[in-house]
Amino acid sequence: MSDLIIYSHSENFRRDVLENPLPVVLDFYSDECPPCTALAPLYERLAERYWGRVSFVKIFRQENRTLAESLGVTASPTLIFYRQGQEVGPRLNGFISKRDLRLALEDLLGEAAGEQEKKVATADLIILGGGPAGLTAAIYAGRARLNTVVIDESLPGGQAASTYHLSNYPGTGGSVSGRELMDKMLAQALSLDVRVDDFKEVTAVDLTGPEKVVVTEDTEYRGRAIILATGARPRKLPVPGADERQGHGVHYCATCDGIMYEGQSVIVVGGGNSAVEEAVYLTRYAEKVTLVHEFDHLQASKIAQEQALANPRIEFVWECHVREIAGDDGVTGVTVKHLPTGEKRFVPGNGIFVYIGTEPQTALFQGQVEMTAQGYLVTDAETRTSQPGVFAAGDVRAKEVRQVVAAAGDGAVAAVQAEKYLAKLEVRG
């Protein structure tokens, strides 16, 4: 626990938050919550940076459920901002980026951060992204004795770290916590003298010259080669009202928010591994789980399918798309359209958990390397992109299989190819 953070509870809410003379950031957090784990170190760093100007308060949601519900908090983490006892600005919840939190703090204080003088850091190899692809690449690069820096916009681990358990990663005995696996990868990379800079807000990238450049809020990184391993983020439910209800009836993390629906009915949208595995997980709490899928069969692994199909608490709505979310303050259900017939029907549920794929985080690379229409990076079998010295690994690549083990394989290949590329530069130089 940090001495700079106030760990409060219901009885002290008025004193610590509403009567606090300073502006307040209030974090409702939970255990078994990957986004909460990812946010915690950033929260501590910002508490140190804004000490004396902003009070950073945390309340454990599961032990203060009545207070959380009275404030309309149904997702972890949820950040609420207060000035003179009044809530101000929009709330933040789920996976919260450093940029979003910085902008919210600037709004809370009524000021914008000035331009910082940037340090310059040089490396043989820059790895952009600290998920399984980036960390595996870092391990291989470290063993090759390359001067390597990993830059991550959050806590290293990527989407894998937010997975409740991985059931098919070789050598783990059948199941392992995603966070545990990623922590071990990070420790291994650090043991090889790889530099890892986390919670960096990347503002610009230049991949076109012989020296690759990555610009963050305080540092300009320069390297002779770069591996793009920025991963992907969950695709949002594309219906009106989904964004407005995120964290308040619409969720993207069952381990974070499933407990709020104990004894209730929930809806899971999707049919791949994530959707099916999280539907099974949600039966720990929910009385009924309805899985809505656009096909007449599941795409998950056979074991996951067997577990879901055998679970009496799970019902299936086949060949349907969600068209509308019902409810005022929260969610009471969804209207779905049956794709073969066009018939619409109402499916009741108190919450919606969405697992309909991912979108690559490649906006910064537009116009610099070849991409598909969906924004995935085009590479050859050796992870080389259209730009010399630029490699891509993991979920950002245009490929069929997106699994942690596949991302790790990409990372290994990319690091080996980057080492060969750098060796050729040495020979030419």
Which residues carry out catalysis? 253, 256-257
Assign 17 to helix, strand or coil: helix
Nearest to 113 by CA among 128, 98, 91, 129: 98
Contact call for residues 317 and 294 (beta carbons, < 8 A): no
CB 212 within 8 A of CB 166: no
Q: What is the chain's Cα-based Rg?
A: 23
Distance (Å, whole) CA 294 – CA 291: 10
Which residue type sits at 390? V
- Are the C-beta atoms of residues 288 and 265 closer than 8 Å to each other? yes
Tell me which amino acid residue 60 is.
F
Cα separation, 242 vs 195, in Å, equals 39
Between the alpha carbon of residue 61 and those of residues 6, 10, 37, 331, the distances in Å are 15, 10, 14, 20
Specify the amino acid at residue 192.
Answer: L
* Three-class SS state of 44: helix
Query: Which conformational region is residue 91 in: left (phi greater than 0), alpha (psi within -120 to 50 degrees), or beta?
Result: beta
Q: Identify any residues that bridge with 206 across adjacent strands, giving them in sequence order.
A: 213
* CB distance 291 to 276 below 8 Å: yes
Q: Are strands 195-197 and 148-151 parallel, antiparallel or unpaired?
A: parallel
Cα(149)–Cα(336) distance, rounded to whole angstroms? 47
H or E element that contains 70: helix 65-70
Cis peptide preceding 41, ω within 30 of 0: no
